């Protein structure tokens, strides 16, 4: 194992030790979060070998995964010996507490086993969840799966939206649509209208240019009415953020965007649509099931 403090040493060829986590545990995403962090008093530590790697930070006296939890929906070491790399990394910080968040259940046992081998005591706590929709073969199958009431609502709201603004089309974009996406955010009411600061726009732009993110615009007669910001993998879609034209607010743009994105991903052949963190009811109404996330707490002896 080697210990470093620069991202150049974090390998890019390893798979995370938990399935279905997209690119969140990989270097391009984590490095983007790192470069746009708000806390400058953070120490980065990367532990790597030919068979595994883990990136952690020391912040305010606590060891955490690199990638702050409010921006990173899944954490997991990478590589077949990623859990062991994490244990070695923790062992370099004696008498220091750690809090490893956003772990899917598949990552918990390998990590606790590796910590046990290193004689590091830890406690596992279930905290937060993501919401994941298993996509059927066809959009009609999905409509049938969500129940009569929700199916009626989806169809009714899409008809109303098209009657108001014209036929719906989905256009996939990269960073060329970032200004449209950010403008919709800034025109939003409430706290959402203050979310897309200049530093946050720079962060989202980097996700588009280096971490594989994409923007899908919901367009009616050439006018963007809503936007989905997410990550497409071969088998899934990770719904990271969204915004809509406030002029369309009265026509349920959120429901229309979601149902149209689900249709788009089914047509693409994706197997899952991940709504990411949060147990909001709208996710469950669209057929998602909660996926528990865990925190591993402890102190390095």
**Strand-strand pairing, 62-65 and 52-59:** antiparallel
Mean pLDDT of 114-133: 97
The model carries a pTM of: 0.95
Helix axes 198-210, 178-186, angle to 10 degrees: 150
Q: Is the pLDDT of residue 40 over 90?
A: no
Per-residue pLDDT, 177: 96
- DSSP for 190-246 reads GGGGGT--HHHHHHHHHHHHHS-EEEEEEEETTEEEEEEEEEE-SSEEEEEEEEE-G
Instruction: Give the separation between CA 132 and CA 104, rounded to whole angstroms.
Output: 12
Per-residue pLDDT, 193: 78
CA–CA–CA angle 206, 210, 212 (5° rounding): 105
Per-residue pLDDT, 26: 97
- DSSP for 102-131 reads EEEHHHHHHHHHHHHHTT--EEEEEEEEEE
Instruction: Give the separation between CA 245 and CA 254, rounded to whole angstroms.
Output: 10
pLDDT band of residue 3 (cuts 50, 70, 90) is low
Q: In what order do the strands lie in the sheet with 272-277?
A: 2-4, 42-49, 52-59, 62-65, 96-104, 289-300, 122-134, 272-277, 236-244, 223-232, 213-220, 168-173
Q: Is 95 exposed, middle or buried (0-12, 13-18, 19+ CB in 10 A)?
A: exposed
2-129+292-300 maps to which CATH number? 3.40.630
State the CATH architecture for 136-270: 3-Layer(aba) Sandwich (3.40)
2-129+292-300 and 136-270 have identical folds: yes
Mean pLDDT of 246-274: 96
Domain ranges of the chain: 2-129+292-300, 136-270
Mean pLDDT of 125-141: 98
CA–CA–CA angle 276, 268, 154 (5° rounding): 65
Q: Is the pLDDT of residue 2 over 70?
A: no
- Spatial neighbors of 9 by CB under 8 A, at least 6 apart, are 2, 46, 48
Percent of the chain residues topping a pLDDT of 90: 91
């Amino acid at each position: 194992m080697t210990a470093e403090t620069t991202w150049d040493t974090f390998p890019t060829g390893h798979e995370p030790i938990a399935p279905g986590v997209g690119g969140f545990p990989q270097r391009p995403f984590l490095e983007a979060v790192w470069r746009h962090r708000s806390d400058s008093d953070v120490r980065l530590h990367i532990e790597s070998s030919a068979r595994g790697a883990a990136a952690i930070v020391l912040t305010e006296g606590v060891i955490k995964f690199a990638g702050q939890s409010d921006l990173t929906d899944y954490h997991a070491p990478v590589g077949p010996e990623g859990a062991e790399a994490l244990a070695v990394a923790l062992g370099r910080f004696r008498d220091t507490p750690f809090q490893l968040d956003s772990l899917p259940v598949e990552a918990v046992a390998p990590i606790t086993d590796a910590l046990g081998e290193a004689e590091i005591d830890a406690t596992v706590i279930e905290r937060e969840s993501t919401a994941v929709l298993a996509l059927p073969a066809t959009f009609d199958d999905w409509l049938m799966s969500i129940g009569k009431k929700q199916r009626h609502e989806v169809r009714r709201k899409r008809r109303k939206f098209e009657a108001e603004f014209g036929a719906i089309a989905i256009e996939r974009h990269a960073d060329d649509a970032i200004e449209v996406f950010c403008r919709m955010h800034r025109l939003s009411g409430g706290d959402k209208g203050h979310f897309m600061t200049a530093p946050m726009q720079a962060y989202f732009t980097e996700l588009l240019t280096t971490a594989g993110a994409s923007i899908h615009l919901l367009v009616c007669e050439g006018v963007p009415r809503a936007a989905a910001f997410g990550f497409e993998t071969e088998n899934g879609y990770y719904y990271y953020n969204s915004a809509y034209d406030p002029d369309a607010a009265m026509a349920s743009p959120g429901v229309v965007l979601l149902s149209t994105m689900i249709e788009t991903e089914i047509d693409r052949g994706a197997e899952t649509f991940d709504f990411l963190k949060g147990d909001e009811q709208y996710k469950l109404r669209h057929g998602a099931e909660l996926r528990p996330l865990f925190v591993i707490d402890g102190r390095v002896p």
